[in-house]
Chains A and B, each alone.
Chain A
Amino acid sequence: MIMTVTLTILCLLLILCFVTTSIIPTPVGACASLIGGFLLLSFIYGFLGAHFAAVIQIIVYAGAIMVVFVFVVMLLNVPTQDLPKVKISLADILSILLSIPVLILVSIKILNWQAPMIDSQNVEMKDIARKMFIDYLWPFELISFLLLTALVAAITVAHKNKGSRYMLKEGSDHGR
C-alpha cells in the first residue's frame, strides 16, 4: 500500500518534471528540470529494488550526459529575448488531438498495473553482468552498433554544408 502511494507520487512528480522540461522558456531551466526528472526516475528504480539501475541512471544520465548538455547551453548562453517565440500552429493542435487516443490506451494499461516486488537482496551485479554479456550478448552488441550508427549519422547531418567550417560566424554572435 505504502509502496503504491509512494510510487504514484514519484511518478506524478516525474511527469511534472518532464512536462516542465518541454514548456519552460529558459534552456537552463529545461536542463535542470530534466536532471530532476532523471533523479526521480532513479528514485523509482531504487524503490523497486533495482539499486544498480538507479545508480547507473544517476551516473550516466544525470551526472555525465546532462553535464555536457548544460555545458553547451551555458557556452551558447543565448539571451532570453533572442530565443525563438513559440507559436501554436494547426499541426500542433492536430498532433495533440491524435495523441489523445494513445493517452487513453496507455492510461487503461497503467490503471491495471501492480507495483512489482523485487527481492533486492538476490539481484547482484554478477547476475546483471551474466545476463548482459553471456545470455544477451548479441542484442547488446547490436544495440551498441545502432548507437554508433546514430553517432555517425548525427555527425553527417551536422556537417551537411562542407564549405563553411565556422558555421557560428555568420550573424549569430551571442558573445556579449
Chain B
Amino acid sequence: MTIIFSIIVFAMVLIVGFHVAPLMTWVERRQCAFIQRRVGPNRVGIFGFTLFGLGQPIADAVKLLFKEDGNPSYVQPFFYFIAPLIPSVTGLAALMVIPFGAQDTFFGTVFSPQVLSVGAGFLLFFAMSSMSVYGVTLAGWSSNNKYSLLGGLRASAQMISYELGMGLSLIPIVLIYQTLDLQQIVYAQSHSYLFGFLPDWGIFRAPVSFFIFLITIFAETNRLPFDLAEGEAELIAGFLVEYGGMRWSLFFLGEYAMMFAFSGLISCLFLGGYSLPYLTHESLIHIVQPILGSFGSIAVFLIEFATLIVKMSIIMLIFVQVRFTVPRFRYDQLMKLGWVTILPLALINLFVTALVLGYSSFK
C-alpha cells in the first residue's frame, strides 16, 4: 500500500512538472502583453471556447512535435543529442525533493507527499541544480558554433559564481531551524512569531537570506536579467542556435521545471511551504475533521497542496514580471554583482545570524 501511494505521488509530481512548461509559455506571453499594453495570444481554443487563449500551449506542443527534426552534420553527435535531456531530467528530479503536504495516514497507511526524503534533506536539490548546468555547457560545446560555445562558457562561469552565494544564503535558515529536513522546516514555520503577530516564516526570520536567494535563483535558472547564455542581442540565442523542434523545447521544459522546483524550495524555506499562515497541521485537522469525518485527512492534504501551488505560482509570476521589467545585465556587471556584492553580503549575513543565535542560546 505504501508503495502504491509512493508511485501515485511520483506520477503526480512528474505530471505537474511536465505541465509547467507549456502553461508557463502561455502565462509569459500573456503577462508580457499586459505589461506592454497589448492583448497577447487569446484566440486559440477548442470548439469556440477560447478561455483566454489557453489552447495556445496545446497548439504549440503539436507544432513542435511535428516539426522537422533538424540534424546538423557538423555537430558532435553524442553530446549534441544527450545535452537537451540533462536540464529536463535534473529539473524534474529536483521537484521530487519538495514536500507537497504533511505526512499523514490515509485508511491506516502512512502517506508522505514527498517523493524523496533522505537524511541530507534539501542538499539533494542543490546536487540536481548544480548538475543542470552541463546541459547548457555541453550543448554549447557540441554544437560546434562560436556563438553556442560562448553561451556555454558564460553559463558555466555564471553558475559557479552564483552557486556560492546561493549556498551561503541558506545556511542561516539551517541555523535557525536546526535541521535540513524540509518537512521539519515547514512544520517549524507553521507556528506564529512575534506574539502571534506574524507567521513564523523564514522571510521574517532571515529577510536578507530571502533576497539573496531570490537573486541567485534568477542566475541559476538562466532567467532574465541574467540570461547571458542566451543573450539574443549578442549571441543570437547562445547555446540554442543549432537546436530546433522538440529538442529545443526540451531545454525549455528543463528551465521551467527547474524554475518551478526553485519556487517550491523558496516557498518551503521562506514562505511556510504547504502550511497556511497561523495554522499548524494539527489545528487544521481539528477544524476539518468534525465536518468531513474520515475524509478529513484527504481534504487537509488537498488544502495543503493547493496552498503550496498558490505560493509557487506567485513566485513564478514574480519571475515573469522581473523578466519583462529589468533589462539584461552586462557580463562584467553580472560577475561583479556575484563576487563583490552577493558573496560578501551572504557571508556577513551568516556571521550576524550565527552571532545573534549564539548570544540568545548563551543567555
A interface residue numbers (CB < 8 A to B): 28, 32, 35, 42, 46, 51-52, 54-56, 58-59, 62-64, 67-68, 70-71, 74-75, 77, 120-121, 123-125, 176
Contact = CB atoms under 8 A, between A and B. Distances in A.
Contact of B156 (A59, A67, A176): A67
Q: Would you call the interface of chain B mostly helix, strand, loop, or mixed?
A: helix
B137 A67 contact: yes
Interface residues of B, number: 28
Contacts of A124: 119
Interface string B144-156: 0010010011001
Given A52-B123, A67-B159, A124-B119, A74 B153 contact: yes
Interface string B99-129: 0000000000000000000111001101100
Given A28-B79, A51-B120, A58 B153 contact: no
B137 A125 contact: no
A42 B120 CA distance: 13
Contacts, number: 81
Contacts of A52: 119-120, 123
Contact of A70 (B120, B124, B137): B137
24 contacts: A28-B79, A51-B119, A51-B120, A52-B119, A55-B118, A55-B123, A56-B120, A58-B131, A62-B130, A63-B163, A64-B163, A67-B130, A67-B134, A67-B137, A67-B159, A67-B160, A71-B153, A74-B137, A74-B152, A74-B156, A75-B153, A77-B141, A123-B119, A125-B119
A64 B120 contact: no
A67 B154 CA distance: 12
A169 B149 CA distance: 21
B355 interface: no
B127 A59 contact: yes
A83 to B, nearest CB: 15
Contacts of A56: 120, 123
B157 interface: yes
B159 A55 contact: no
A158 B124 CA distance: 36
Nearest to A66: B134
A71 B120 contact: no
B13 interface: no
A80 to B, nearest CB: 10
Given A32-B79, A62-B131, A125-B180, A70 B123 contact: no
B133 interface: yes
Contacts of A54: 120
A40 to B, nearest CB: 14
Contacts of B159: 67
B155 to A, nearest CB: 10
Given A51-B119, A55-B127, A64-B130, A77 B163 contact: no
Contacts of B133: 63, 67
Contacts of A51: 118-120
Nearest to A57: B127
B182 to A, nearest CB: 14
B139 to A, nearest CB: 11
Nearest to A73: B141
